[in-house]
């Protein structure tokens, strides 16, 4: 259903407000560069510090700018099941192709609690759901067994974004659920290894600033040009690393500002990239061929 290079979009700010013009220009550039799908208001989009009105507006702006040319998977996660359902309903009403729902953070629900959370969303809204499993941020790990149970019980739960960095996970998931379940990596640095083990693509941070190169890498992989894909991946590896020397999206917003795509502003409690981060990101952008 979803495959290739998909971008977890940053949310540009100017003077403390969402920079709508910069955001829609970023969407246009992404599509022009070959990006296969767009994910507004995820972690990279600073969803925790967007108001509900801003969250919904960014989803609407993305769908409007994409104009049906690529899928839009709207971030709709929350540690409140009620809020998650409301955000998922808005995504459907706005015209999103799917919702990305993160495992509830901070609450630390059990596997039964995780099942009930996603069950409630799937029953409440007729929209494809991608489960976002990211233990480093949510402090919980949805087991393969729980994910398989959800996929088998609810046809609307169609895939996962996996940020466990466990490269055996796609193999175990494919074995448990089958070939129709969409498996997307959430880790740029390991995406080729993830796809070797059956993955379908990546919801990427790096593609905010290197959409063309990542589109080419995924196209090369899909067409069997594995050496070409590996060459591109190796060239981008220093950039993948540099974009996480501070919490995401601080480094990637700095990188986007260097490319004049937006200001580098982030919202508290995040702070703009420090001097060391700027130096490392700049060097990695040169290494990746994004700058002279």
- Give the residue carrying structure tokens 């990637």: 252
Residue 1's pLDDT is what?
A: 80
Average pLDDT over residues 78-85: 97
Prediction pTM value: 0.97
Active site (annotated) includes residue 115: no
**Please, what sign has the CA dihedral across residues 112, 113, 118, 121?**
positive
- Tell me the residue range of the domain where 25 lies: 4-223
| C-alpha triplet 142, 143, 147: angle, nearest 5° | 80
Write out pLDDT tens, residues 231-249. 999 999 999 999 999 999 9
Beta bridge partners of 129: 99, 157
**Please, what sign has the CA dihedral across residues 123, 124, 127, 129?**
negative
Residue-averaged pLDDT of the chain? 97
How would residue 104 be classed by pLDDT, with cut points 50, 70 and 90?
A: very high
Average pLDDT over residues 114-126: 98
Residue 205 lies in a domain: yes
- For the domain that residue 51 is a member of, what is the CATH number? 3.20.20.70
Catalytic choice (3, 92, 115, 161): 161
State how far the Cα of 233 lies from the Cα of 282, in Å rounded to an integer: 18
Count of structural domains within the chain: 1
Q: Are 160 and 183 in contact (CB under 8 A)?
A: yes
Active site (annotated) includes residue 3: no
State how far the Cα of 32 lies from the Cα of 110, in Å rounded to an integer: 43
Average pLDDT over residues 132-139: 95
**By percentage, how much of the chain surpasses pLDDT 70?**
100
Residue 272's pLDDT is what?
A: 97
Residue 108 lies in a domain: yes
Residue 287 dihedral angles phi and psi, to the nearest 5°: -60, -35
Q: Are 59 and 74 in contact (CB under 8 A)?
A: yes
Q: Are 44 and 252 in contact (CB under 8 A)?
A: yes
Catalytic choice (115, 132, 254, 261): 132
Residue 30's pLDDT is what?
A: 98
- Indicate whether 292 pLDDT > 90: no
Average pLDDT over residues 143-169: 97
Q: Cα 260 from chain centroid?
A: 22
Residue 242 lies in a domain: no
Residue 257 lies in a domain: no
Average pLDDT over residues 147-172: 97
- Indicate whether 270 pLDDT > 90: yes
State how far the Cα of 32 lies from the Cα of 1, in Å rounded to an integer: 21
State how far the Cα of 129 lies from the Cα of 101, in Å rounded to an integer: 7
How would residue 101 be classed by pLDDT, with cut points 50, 70 and 90?
A: very high
State how far the Cα of 121 lies from the Cα of 7, in Å rounded to an integer: 24
């Amino acid at each position: 259903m979803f495959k290739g290079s998909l971008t977890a979009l940053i949310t540009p700010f100017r003077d403390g407000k969402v920079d709508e013009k910069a955001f829609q220009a970023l969407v246009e550039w992404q599509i022009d560069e070959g990006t296969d799908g767009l994910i507004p208001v995820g972690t990279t989009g600073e969803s925790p510090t967007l108001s509900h009105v801003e969250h919904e507006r960014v989803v609407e702006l993305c769908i409007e700018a994409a104009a049906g040319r690529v899928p839009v998977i709207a971030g709709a996660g929350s540690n409140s099941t009620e809020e998650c359902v409301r955000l998922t309903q808005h995504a459907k009403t706005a015209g999103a192709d799917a919702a990305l729902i993160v495992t509830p953070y901070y609450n630390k629900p059990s596997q039964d609690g995780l099942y009930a959370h996603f069950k409630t969303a799937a029953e409440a809204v007729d929209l494809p759901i991608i489960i976002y499993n990211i233990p480093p941020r949510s402090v919980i790990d949805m087991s393969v067994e729980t994910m398989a149970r959800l996929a088998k019980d609810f046809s609307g739960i169609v895939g996962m974004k996996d940020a466990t960095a466990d490269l055996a996970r796609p193999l175990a998931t494919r074995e448990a659920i089958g070939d129709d379940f969409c498996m997307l990596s959430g880790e740029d640095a390991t995406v080729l290894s993830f796809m070797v083990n059956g993955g379908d693509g990546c919801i990427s941070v790096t593609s905010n600033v290197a959409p063309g190169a990542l589109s080419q890498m995924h196209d090369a992989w899909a067409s069997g040009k594995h050496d070409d894909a590996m060459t591109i991946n190796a060239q981008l590896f220093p950039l993948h690393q540099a974009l996480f020397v501070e919490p995401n999206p601080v480094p990637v917003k700095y990188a986007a500002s260097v490319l004049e795509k937006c200001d580098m502003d982030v919202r508290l409690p995040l702070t703009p990239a420090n001097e060391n981060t700027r130096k490392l990101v700049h060097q990695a952008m040169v290494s990746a061929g994004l700058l002279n």
